């Protein structure tokens, strides 16, 4: 039996100018997970990030958001894993995914980084690709019919329809987290992936719409300074 998740690391960039951008979807989900587990974020410089300590069925669970920029996320991951004496298989990384439409979410263990700088740095810091990844679909400018480069796309807020679907994917991810904390990965995968059919159709519809980017900050997010 695979060991259950004990460290959850949401990826994003620190600072209010990045808070509502697509690249911070991992932070958005981490905020919800910390709330669900009764944790509160505080900045811990030794761990290069904001750390919340929660509990699930009597077990301590660590939720963290790196205070470094995305491409240095491995500093937090490595420091936390070493301090709590965890294996890569007990680490879950929450991150935005270009290859999934808004609203889609997928879970997998191991694999490459597909050019995602946060995953690249974590894989290097842990000396292993065997951590778990919860991939939060944000879409790709090509599939969403947007004439812009990927770098600019991920650093902008999602459009209104996209945001609705991303938040639905985050809600479904929250519901799957307890399975991961019990080590029931098959059930989590089944639950998450079963909901992607409807999200795919809705995401394609959202991509065909031409509405501008929302001027409002994502209502599901909190300040990344942890208060």
Q: Which residue has the higher pLDDT, 148 or 225?
A: 148
What is the residue-averaged pLDDT of the chain?
88
Catalytic residue list contains 113: no
**What gap in Å lies between CA 62 and CA 54, rounded to an integer?**
6
**41-97 pLDDT, tens digit each:** 999 999 999 999 999 999 999 999 999 999 999 999 999 999 999 999 999 999 999
- Let me know if residue 220 belongs to a domain: no
Average pLDDT rounded to a whole number, residues 6-15: 97
pLDDT bucket at 216, cuts 50 / 70 / 90: very low
Q: Which of 146-160, 161-175, 188-202 has the lowest mean pLDDT?
A: 188-202
**85-95 pLDDT, tens digit each:** 999 999 999 99
**What gap in Å lies between CA 173 and CA 192, rounded to an integer?**
7
Q: Which of 23, 95, 116, 165 is catalytic?
A: 23
Is 224's pLDDT higher than 90? no
- Let me know if residue 28 belongs to a domain: yes
- Let me know if residue 101 belongs to a domain: yes
- Let me know if residue 222 belongs to a domain: no
**Domain total of the chain:** 1
- Which is nearest to 3 in space by CA: 79, 109, 95, 82? 109
Yes or no: say if 87 and 169 are a contact pair by the CB < 8 Å rule. no
Sheet holding 91-97, edge to edge: 42-44, 49-56, 59-66, 7-10, 91-97, 132-137, 105-109
pLDDT at 192: 95
Yes or no: say if 192 and 169 are a contact pair by the CB < 8 Å rule. no
Residue 141 burial (C-beta neighbours within 10 Å; 0-12, 13-18, 19+) = middle
pLDDT bucket at 199, cuts 50 / 70 / 90: low
Average pLDDT rounded to a whole number, residues 7-24: 97
- Let me know if residue 215 belongs to a domain: no
- Domain ranges, residue 52: 7-208
pLDDT at 215: 32
Average pLDDT rounded to a whole number, residues 133-146: 96
CATH number of the CATH domain containing 18? 3.40.50.1470
Partners of 53 in beta bridges: 62
- Let me know if residue 63 belongs to a domain: yes
- Let me know if residue 105 belongs to a domain: yes
- Let me know if residue 214 belongs to a domain: no
């Amino acid at each position: 039996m695979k060991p259950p998740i004990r460290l959850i690391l949401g990826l994003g960039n620190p600072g209010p100018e990045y808070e509502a951008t697509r690249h911070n979807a991992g932070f958005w989900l981490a905020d919800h997970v910390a709330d669900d587990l009764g944790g509160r974020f505080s900045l811990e410089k030794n761990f290069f990030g904001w750390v919340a300590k929660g509990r699930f069925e009597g077990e301590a669970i660590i939720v963290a958001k790196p205070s470094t920029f995305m491409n240095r996320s491995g500093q937090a991951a490595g420091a936390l894993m070493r301090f709590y004496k965890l294996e890569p298989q007990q680490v879950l990384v929450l991150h935005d995914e270009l290859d999934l439409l808004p609203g889609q979410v997928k879970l997998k263990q191991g694999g490459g980084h597909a050019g995602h700088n946060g995953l690249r740095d974590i894989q290097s810091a842990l000396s292993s690709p065997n951590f778990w990844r919860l991939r939060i679909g944000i879409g790709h400018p090509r599939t969403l019919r947007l004439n812009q480069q990927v770098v600019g796309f991920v650093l902008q807020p999602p459009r209104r329809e996209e945001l609705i679907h991303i938040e639905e994917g985050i809600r479904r991810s929250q519901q799957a987290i307890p399975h991961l904390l019990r080590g029931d990965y098959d059930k989590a995968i089944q639950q998450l992936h079963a909901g992607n059919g409807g999200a795919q159709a809705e995401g394609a519809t959202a991509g065909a719409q031409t509405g501008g980017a929302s001027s409002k900050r994502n209502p599901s997010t909190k300040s990344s300074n942890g208060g």
